[in-house]
Structure formats: structure tokens, C-alpha cells
Amino acid sequence: MTSELSSIIDFIRYGASRFSAAGLTFGHSHDNPIDEATHLVLAALHLPPDLPPAYGAGKLVAAEREAVLALIERRIFERVPVAYLVGETWFAGLKFKSDRRALVPRSPIAELIESRFTPWLDDRRVERALDLCTGSGCIGIAMAEYNPDWQVDLVDVSDDALSLANENIAYQHVEDRVRALKSDLFEGVRGEVYDLIVSNPPYVTNDEYAAMPAEYSHEPVLGLTSGDDGLDITLRILDEAADHLSEDGLLIVEVGDSEHALVDLLPRVPFVWLEFKVGPMGIFALERRDLVEHAADISAVRAART
């Protein structure tokens, strides 16, 4: 086989065909076998994702062919996400280290970051931002990269995730503007106030997790599940966020398919569900004043679950 495959494009085509035939699940940064194979092959060869097409004809040496084929086989038979196989992935146009210490970066919040949260922040002054449940650190670090005048805190309860986040802070050279802190939501940042809080917390329901494809079993369950309706952590965030937002502060949270359950629980809270290029993605924005106004409803719903 190695004698029949020789160029970069040969291996991308071969990988895509094998991935399709194997019925893999594509949910970790890519949604199709061609992009998945492209990520695997180019990263394995230490090449950028925007490699000019002319280089696709470049030939692989024997050691490279064997290495790429071995990764393709692992992707198929072990169902390991490509980002973990090659140790890196891209988020908001930036490269991040990725391994089993945290979820593979894939949030549509990247689109908000790249647009600098327009129109939400167009008339707001942001000096401090918080990435709550940071995982690999990708959201908070990307916010700092796109907004060099922001100071950004990353918080997570997982020591493993924080170790990866700190590596990504150093990798992106933002040590002067970004810090990673251990915290069970807001417990470790008492007294801290932010102009913007962004969170991609765990929101998978217990039943959904039990039915998830094998690819997700390689990720830390702590970063995925959040109770029977996926909202245990989100309700804690809603109940506590106002104390950590400046007067004109904004909260943005991803809840995915748990959107409908959240609206049913809190029908009077004026969630604004954001639209993305591909449509709605279960991400809401909420003003601090709305959190304060509806604090009683939020606290009552949270208390009823404990």
C-alpha cells in the first residue's frame, strides 16, 4: 500500500475514503471525512492547515507514510479524535495543544470571538473577561489574542485541564494578559468582577452521554455531563454570575440541545439565543440587569434541584 500512496493528496483522499467506509463520527472540530483526513495528514507532517494546493503533490518519505497510515488506522479502530492523535487542533484561527486532559476545542463561540462579539460589545468597555469552565483554555486565550487590551482569567475545577490551559497560555505567549485559576465555578474568584463572562460548561444529559459515539469516550466525562437535563452547572452559573459582573456586564453561555429545557424551566428570563452562520447553536446572551431582575426565579429553580 505504501508504494501505491505517495503524495499528500493521496493520503488525504485515502484517509477520507477509509473514514467514510468505517462510519466514523465527526464531531470534534470537523463534520466530514475530508476535513478530518486533511487535519490528520497535515498535522502529522507538521504542515499548516492553509497549505497552498500546489504542495498537495508533495511526496512523503517512507517514515512519513508509515506514520500517517498508523494514525489513520488508530482513528478507525480506536475511535480516537484526530486532535488527540496529533496533539493539536485549531480554534478561532489559532493552534492549540489538545489531549485527553480536556475536551477537544470545538465551540461555535469561536465565531463570536472572531467577530469580536459584535454587536454585543460594540458599545461596551471591556477590561476584564472570564472564561468559565475553560478546559484547554481555547476560548479565553482566543479572546485575549483578538482583544490585546483585555485581561482574561481562565477557571476550571480540573487540575488536568488547568495544566493543559497553562501550556496553551505559554504556547500563545499571552502570559502577561491571561491567568489560569483552579475554581469550582466562582468559588476561586470570590470578589472578582468582570465585564464579560463566557462559558461553555458541561451540558450533555446523562441519557445522551450513554448513547454517545465511541469518539467521546476518550474525553473527560467531567467536561461533558451535567445531570439529567444537562443544566445542573448552567443553573449554578445563572444563580451566581451577577455577583461577578460589572454593572453593564454580559454573560454568554453555551447549552447546546439543553436550550429547550432551560427555557421551560425559566420562561420569564429573557434569554437572547444567538444566531451563527450555520444557524442557532444553543448559545444565549444575558445582561447582568436581567440576572438581577430574575434572581428569585433562578434561585428557586436551582434550589428545587438540591
Q: What is the mean pLDDT of residues 111-126?
A: 95
pLDDT tens digits, 42-73: 999 999 999 999 999 999 999 999 999 999 99
Distance CA 10, CA 238 (A): 50
| Exposure string over 58-90, b if 16+ CB within 10 A, otherwise e | eebeeebbeebbebbeebbeebbbbbbbbebbb
Distance CA 169, CA 154 (A): 10
DSSP H stretches of helix in the chain:
8-22, 33-44, 62-77, 82-86, 109-114, 138-146, 159-171, 206-210, 232-240, 259-265, 288-293, 295-303
Confidence band of 255 (pLDDT split at 50, 70, 90): very high
Confidence band of 305 (pLDDT split at 50, 70, 90): confident
The grid coordinates of residue 82 equal 484526530
pLDDT of residue 277 exceeding 60, the answer is yes
For the chain, give every residue range classified as CATH 1.10.8.
8-86
pTM listed for this prediction: 0.95
Q: What is the mean pLDDT of residues 233-254?
A: 98
Q: What is the mean pLDDT of residues 116-130?
A: 95
Confidence band of 292 (pLDDT split at 50, 70, 90): very high
Q: What is the mean pLDDT of residues 148-153?
A: 98
Q: What is the pLDDT of residue 25?
A: 93
Q: Please choose, from the candidates 160, 253, 155, the residue with its C-alpha nearest in 3D space to the C-alpha of residue 198.
A: 253
Distance CA 91, CA 81 (A): 15
Three-class secondary structure of residue 139 per DSSP: helix
Q: What is the pLDDT of residue 154?
A: 98
Residues in the chain: 306
DSSP H stretches of helix in 115-243:
138-146, 159-171, 206-210, 232-240
For the chain, give every residue range classified as CATH 3.40.50.150.
91-304
Average pLDDT, the chain: 96
Domain 91-304 falls under CATH 3.40.50.150: yes
For residues 131 and 144, is the Cβ–Cβ distance under 8 A? no
Looking at the structure, give the CATH architecture of the domain made up of residues 8-86: Orthogonal Bundle (1.10)
pLDDT tens digits, 176-195: 999 999 999 999 999 999 99
pLDDT of residue 1 exceeding 60, the answer is no
pLDDT tens digits, 211-237: 999 999 999 999 999 999 999 999 999
Q: How many other C-beta atoms are found inside a 10 Å radius of the C-beta of residue 127?
A: 12
Q: What is the pLDDT of residue 53?
A: 92
Confidence band of 278 (pLDDT split at 50, 70, 90): confident
